[in-house]
Amino acid sequence: MAYHQKISSASFGPDFLWGVAIAAAQNEGAYNADGRGLSIWDSFSRRPGKIKGGAKPFEACDFYYRYKDDLMLVKALGFTVFRFSISWSRILPEGMGRINKEGIAFYHKLIDECLELGLIPYVTLYHWDLPLELQKNGGWTSHQMLKWFTRFVTVCAEEFGDKVKNWIILNEPMGFTSLGYMLGMHAPGKTGLSNFLPAVHNAALCQAEGGRIIRSLVLKANIGTTFSFSEVMPYTQREEDMLAAKRVDAMLNRLFIEPVLGRGYPHVENFPLLDKLHLHNKAWKYIERMKFNFDFIGLQNYFSITVKHNPLIPYLHASEVKATTRKAPHTDMGWEINADSFYRVIKRVWLYGGVKEILITESGAFFKDELVNGVVNDEKRIDYFQQYITAMLKAKKEGVNVNGYFAWTLTDNFEWSEGYKARFGLIHLDCKTQLRTIKNSGYWFRDFLKTY
C-alpha cells in the first residue's frame, strides 16, 4: 500500500541511518531458558498491581526464538539499522562471576544474522533489566555498581567487539533512576531520595566508564549513550511557574548530559533536591570520572511537558498540566504531540557544544490501533512520523549534525508498567499466537525508504 509522502528520505542524504529499536526485556521472552538469570523486571512483574493487566515479560514477543523472522521484517521494511540491547542476566546470570555460554552464543547468532542481512547492529548495553541478584545487593544504589557494570561491559566488548562497532552505553538513565528508584513505578520499585540520589550518581559514573571500556577494547568503536529529552514549558509566565519549569527541566533534561560534557551536575537556584549531588561537583575527581567524549548522543523524545507551580509536590514543587487538560494534540498515552518542540529539543542538544553527532535513537507513539480483517490502519501514527521526521529535517538543514532516526519500535511489545496494552509497534503482535501483522505505518516506512 502506498502513501502520499510529505517528505522524502532522499532529502537526508545517502549516509543517513534509518533503523528500528527494541529492548531485551521487552522483546526476548525466554526468561528462564538456556541458563539466563532473572532480571528485576521478572521479579517486579510478579507483584500485584504493578503491571497493567497483570502482564509479565516471560514470553514477551518471543524474539529469542523468532529473531530471524523479525530481522527479515526489519529488512523488508527497508531499514538499515537494528538497535537491540543485551540482557545482562542472560550472559552473566548472577550479574558477576560465571559467563553463560548459551547467552553469549545467542547474541553471536543475532549479530551474525544482522550482518548477513546487511543490517548494522547498534547494541545497547543497559536497557533497564538489571540482574535480580545484583538488586538483592542494592542494585544501582550500591557502591559496588561501578565494579559490576565494568565486568558486564568488559565481557560484552571482548565477546562482540570484533563484530559490533556501534555501542550505546545506557538507555535513558533518568528514566530508570526516577521511575525505578524514586517513584517506584518501574522495577525494582524503590522509592525516596535515599535510593534515587545514589542511583543517579552511580549511573553517571557508569555511563562514562562504560564508554572508556569500549574505547579501550573495541577497535574503531563508535560510542554513544542515550538521553530522554522533553521540552519543559511553564503553564503561565508567572515567576513561580517559570521557576517550576526550570526545576523540572534540570531533572528531566540536564541531570545526565551535563556531567558527560564535563560540567558536573546542573545548578538551579533554591533547589535543595540537587544539593547532595552538588557535593560531588566539589570533588574534581568525580567531574572528571563522569565526563566522556562520546562519538554521538542518542536523543529520545516522546512528549513535551507543561508544568505549573504546586507547593504540595515534594522537592520539585511542580506538577504537570496534562495535554488532555489543555486540549493539546496527544497520543493515546496522553503525551502531547508537538513536532515543533521536537525540533527545538534537537537544536538545544546541539547548541550545548561538545556534542559531535546526534542520533534519534527512539521516536514513536502509542495509538489504540486494532487489527481488522488482517489490516491495521494506523493513520495517526503515520501522521506522527511525518511530522517528527519533517521537524528533524528542518534541524538538519539548519546545520545540526543529526544523522539517524530509529523508530520505536519494531513490534508491539512488553511496554514496562503498561504491559501489552500500549502498542508502539510498526508491526502488530497477537500476544497469544505471536502472529505478526505489518501495520500501515510499517508499509509507510517501506515506501518512504524506497527513495533512500
In the chain, DSSP finds a helix count (H) and a strand count (E) of 16, 13
Cβ partners under 8 Å of residue 374, min gap 6: 437
Cell reading at 420: 501489552
Residue tagged 535513558 (cell numbers): 172
Q: Is 426 exposed, middle or buried (0-12, 13-18, 19+ CB in 10 A)?
A: buried
CB 82 within 8 A of CB 74: yes
What does each C-alpha distance from 361 to 71, 295, 341, 448 come to in angstroms?
18, 14, 17, 18
What residue type is 178 in one-letter code?
A: S
Q: What is the DSSP string of 155-211?
A: HHHHHHTTT--EEEEES-HHHHHHHHHTB-SSTT--BSHHHHHHHHHHHHHHHHHHH
Give the CA diameter of the chain.
63
Cis omega before residue 409 (within 30°)?
A: yes
d(CA 418, CA 188): 15
Q: What are the phi and psi torsion angles at 119 (to 5°)?
A: -95, 135
In angstroms, what CA-CA distances link 3 with 19, 374, 445, 450?
A: 20, 18, 9, 12
Which residues is 336 bridged to in the sheet? 330
Residue 64 contacts residue 106 (beta carbons within 8 Å): yes
Take residue 339 and report the three cell numbers written for it: 513536532
Q: 517513584: which residue's cell?
A: 183
The grid coordinates listed for 300 are 529520545
Catalytic (active-site) positions: 172, 362
All three cell numbers of 265, joined, read: 551536575
Give CA–CA dist 340/42, Å, rounded: 38
Q: How is the chain split among helix, strand and coil, in percent rounded to 5? A: 40, 15, 40
In whole angstroms, give the CA distance from residue 296 to residue 403: 10
